[in-house]
Every structure is written in C-alpha cells, then in structure tokens.
Structure 1
Amino acid sequence: MHGQRELGDFLQTRRARLRPEDVGLPDYGDRRRVPGLRREELAMLAGVSPSYYTRLEQGQSVGASPEVLDALAQALRLDEAERHHLHDLAGSVRRPPVVRRPPEEHADASTLELLESLGDVPALVSGRRGDVLAWNRMGHALFASHVDFSGPQYPDGRPNLARLVFLDPHIRALYADWPEKARSVIQNLRMVAGRHPDDARLTSLVGELAMNSAEFASMWADHRVRPCDSVVFEMHHPSVGVLTVTQQSLRPPQNGEFHLVLATAARDSASQSALRLLAQVISDTSDTRDLRPKHTELVRRSGMSK
C-alpha cells in the first residue's frame, strides 16, 4: 500500500468531516466547493503553514514530526485510535517501501489450551489479517457452522473473517445489522494496514475484497478506524434463532497481533439460553457443519424461534 497516498487520503477524509463551527471558526455562509474545513483553516488550527500542510496531504512531504502529527490530530479532533493510526501512516511514509511476505501464522500450544479451556463459550483465534487460526466447537458452531471445521489447520485454506463478512451470504444473513458488522471488521483492518503497509498478503486481501465487493470498496475509501474491542450484535442463527451477544476481542500475551474473539450473552437471558441450546446441539453430533436439519425438533421443544 502506498504510504504517502494513504496518509494524504486519511488527512483529507478526516478534514472533510469537520465544519467550521465544529472547531470554533466563523462560518460566513460562503459556498464551499468541497465539504469540511479548508486546508488553510486546518493548517491554522494545527499551527503549521498552509503550504506545508498542502504538501503533506498531497504526499509531497515525508518528514512530519511527532509533534506536528499530534497537533494535526488535535485540530482534526481525532480519537486515540485515529491518532495512533495517523502516526502509523506517517511512519510508513518515512520508511523505505519494502513489500515482504510475512511468515506463516499459527496459534501456539498455550493459546490452543486457552481456547479449549473456555468450554461452552464460543471462541476463535484470528491472526493479523483476520485468518481464523483456530476455534473451539462452539466458536465454529456460532460464527460459521457451514465452513469446514478443520479449515484453520490448513494455511492455504483458512477462513478469513473479512472475506466471510463481505463475500459469504451465510454470514450476511447471520447478522441482523450486517452493515455495522462490516464496518467493525473494516475499521479494524484499516488499523492493521496502517501498522503493516509492507504486508503483501494484507495488500492482496484488500485488493481482492475491493474488486469483489462494492460495499467493501466504499467503506475502505472512508478511512475510518476503530479497534474491535467489544461490540454487541444481534444474530439470526440457523439452529437456535435470534440471540444477542457481546463479541469481545482480546490479545493473547504470547502474540499481540493475534485476537482471541469471544461471544457472551447476558446472564439469565434468552440469548444465554440459546447459547446453551447450541452447546446441547453440538454435543449430540460429531459434525457441526450442518446443525439445523438434525435438531429442528430440539429447537421447537425449547420454545425458541428459528
């Protein structure tokens, strides 16, 4: 990914979302050719010259100091995630572009033990680019029961969370608010891309998704960033019906690039009962790839809608 262009596009999109009244500047009602602050207005707020800021946004300057970046972040009203992303993008501009093929990712023994110790809590381990490196049976059953359970064992055929969300109709149907799920995935992927602009596989993944999903291309161009730490989703599961879960993303201490994704439901709620039913369903079968036909009667007896 071209660092100078990414930095310039991020600055431009963040500038476009601000109005003069948002930052205490007078608005004389004059018509603006483009939305948001003008470059000279932002430069004034950040304490830099308009010509310097213009060169930075146009990719013609590569030497922005941390102090200047922090001043721009404050002027743009960036949150903490966006500020870190701005520094990551500026750092990639200063480094010589070297596209690398990173080593294969795998979940180590201690991470796998942690995953299994979670029992009936749906969980999976994802790598830097969202590849599923491992999941427990409940994680597989909740998140992607139609996918081969053994897929994460094969590096060339691992399920990828971003690819599933944008290209798999089963996953689109799984989330009641699919656009929110899609934005959550893409905003986290944007942060990863800022930290690893030389990751050839990540660049390839982004290109593939942009070519095959107009929605991905549109959301990617928005340059929004947000970590997927904890998000509540309503899911329409084919086996146990509607449930609301909190999906939390934790980083195992052994590798800060990995994410341990957990799904939990409120105590004594119908959603918690649905998760218990799902655990019962998979305990009755050795194959979680197709749960609905084998357990329609069990779901009906539970009183839950499908």
Structure 2
Amino acid sequence: MAAAVSVASGTDDAKARRLGELREFLMSRRARVSPAEAGLPDGGARRRTPGLRREEVAVLAGVGASWYQWLEQGRDISVSPQVLDSVARVLKLSGAERRHLYVLAGLNPPRPEVARDDQEMCEGLHRLIDTWMPQPAHIMDAYWNCVMYNDAAASVLGMRSETSENCLLTFFTDPIYRARARSWRRNAPQVVAMYRAACSEHPDDDGFAAVIAEAKSVSPEFVELWERRDILPGGQVAKEIEHPVVGTLFLESTQLKVPARPDLTIVLHTPMPDAEVDSAGKLAWLASPEGRRGSIHPVAG
C-alpha cells in the first residue's frame, strides 16, 4: 500500500510540474504578441502588461474567457487538439512550440513540421556527409528517396544517378548492389520491417502507397516479406559487402534523425572492427587518388 501511495504521489507531482510549466509557457507566449500583430486595434491606451490580454486571446481563439483563464492558470481541465490549435494560431506558435503546448496540456503531440527557416539545411547536411568520407553516407527523405550521397556511397555501394532514386527499390532491384551485398538475404527482412515502421506513422500517405505498389510490381521477394507484417524501428544494419576492387568489407549502417528536419534521415556507414579484413583501411584506399583510378568503372560481382 505504501508503494502505491508513493507512485500516486509521484504522478501527482509530475502533473503539477507539467501544468505549472504550461502556465508559464502560455503567459510568456502571450506577452510577446502585440495587439497589432494579432489584428487588434491598440486604441492608443497604455497597457499594464505587454502583449495580449487573456480575454483577447480567448476571443481570437473562439473559446470562453473563463476556460482560457483556467488553461493559463494550469488547472486540470479537458482540452482538445482543435482548441489547442486555435490558441497556437493566436499566439503565433512555431511548429516546435505547438508540439510543446500539446505535451504540456497532456495530449499526444502532432507530427513534427519543417520550419521555414530550416528548409534550407541541405547544404549543411551535404557538408556533413562529405566530411564522413571515406565512409559511405547518404540522406533519404520520408519515402526513402535518396536526396544526396557522398563519393564513398557511390564507390562502395554502387549509388549512381541512373539507378532508382528510392533506396527501398534499389535494395531489391539494383543488380550491382545485390551482387555486392553478401548479407542481402539476411538484411532484407529487417529493411522491409523498417520501411513498414516508417509507413505506420503515415497510414494515409499516398507517397508510401506508391513506393509499396512499385516494389510489389518488381519484386516477388518484397511481396513475401511485406506480407509478414513485421515492424522494426530504424536503427543499425550490419552489412557484408564484396567490393570488386578491395574485396570484403564489413560495415554497419546507422539511421540518424535531425529534429529540425524530421522529413530526412541520415544514413552513416561505419567500418566494423575486424583485423583480418581491415574495412577502414580499404575504405581509405578507395578514397585515395590511386583507389579512385582503380574504381572508375563499377562492375557487378
């Protein structure tokens, strides 16, 4: 009984902290929006506090003045996503702030959005994967379309402009990659399960449906694996690559997310330690001038 009381007390304390933070957050956001920014006349009168009044936020959001007051006071009241969205609109919250508001109000947050200021991050991300040389790296969008890749991804994994831009389709259909990937059959179930996990977050998205339909049309192997309905989060995949120039490579690919660009996934390949194979040394040689000359013409096998 004492343990149950302790857990309940801890839950109540956490809720009180959350509602207290909700109060402070709403007050700070309200203070930074002027009447003019909200489309209200200021009337020329001096205001005792900066920003909007509580009553003005309530009117602009289409909610009752008492209800909004209770919300900002951190009272334990029922809220809906529609009302929170109205409040977020009036307070001109960013996508990240809107998600924060949902969490503080005790609701599941909406999907992350790409802020306008973060849409031009591609140059910086390109520098990131170029800095990852001589290890392979590439970046995918939400559908696993390849957005960019570095030189090592081209020389080691066979990525090239004339292949399919979608990494899932390339995994099943590219003859060069399949000839090099000794671990292909072992990795295929994991890859499909990771793609199903990505799809599950966007059940009504036609973009995923189009990729799945195309994969089914070109690969019976994909159809068999897709029907298993296995789900795995994006993580690490161990790969054995048989390169036509340097021979066996043991690599580990890791999927990384950038919070400011939730639509993108960075995939970095790291050489796995193996004294007999020395994958790191082989990757370094492939990126050298001598290695580049020896890998000009990629061949299957």
TM-score bracket for the superposition, by shorter chain length: 0.5 to 0.7
Measured against aligned partners, the alpha-carbon deviations of 1:165-190 in whole angstroms (never above 9, x if no partner) come to 11122221121121222222211110
Alignment of 1:76-95 (within 5 A): none
SS of 1:196 mapped into structure 2: coil
The reply to whether residue 279 of structure 1 matches residue 293 of structure 2 is: no
The reply to whether residue 110 of structure 1 matches residue 116 of structure 2 is: no
Alignment of 1:170-249 (within 5 A): 170-249=176-255
Instruction: Quote the residue 1:161 is aligned against.
Output: 167
Q: 1:235 to 1:201 in 2, by over 3 A?
A: same
Match of 1:144 among 158, 166, 169: 158
For residue 271 of structure 1, report the CA deviation from its aligned partner.
1.4
Contact 1:184–1:228 (CA<8 Å) still a contact in 2?
no
Rg larger for = 2
SS of 1:130 mapped into structure 2: coil
Structure 1 stretches of 5 or more lacking a match? 1-104, 152-156, 294-305
For residue 229 of structure 1, report the CA deviation from its aligned partner.
1.0
Q: Which runs of 4+ in 1 moved over 4 A?
A: none
What's the RMSD between the two structures over aligned residues?
2.7
Contact 2:196–2:231 (CA<8 Å) still a contact in 1?
yes
For residue 276 of structure 1, report the CA deviation from its aligned partner.
1.5
Q: Give the letter for the 1:109 counterpart.
A: E
Q: Percent identity?
A: 23
Instruction: Quote the residue 1:119 is aligned against.
Output: 133
The reply to whether residue 251 of structure 1 matches residue 257 of structure 2 is: yes
Q: 1:189 to 1:271 in 2, by over 3 A?
A: same
- Corresponding residue pairs, total: 181
Contact 1:122–1:142 (CA<8 Å) still a contact in 2?
yes
The reply to whether residue 262 of structure 1 matches residue 268 of structure 2 is: yes
CA distance in 1, matches of 2:207, 2:286: 35
Measured against aligned partners, the alpha-carbon deviations of 1:101-132 in whole angstroms (never above 9, x if no partner) come to xxxx9962221222222232211111111111
TM-score by length of structure 1 reads 0.53
CA distance in 2, matches of 1:205, 1:292: 27
Structure 2 stretches of 5 or more lacking a match? 1-118
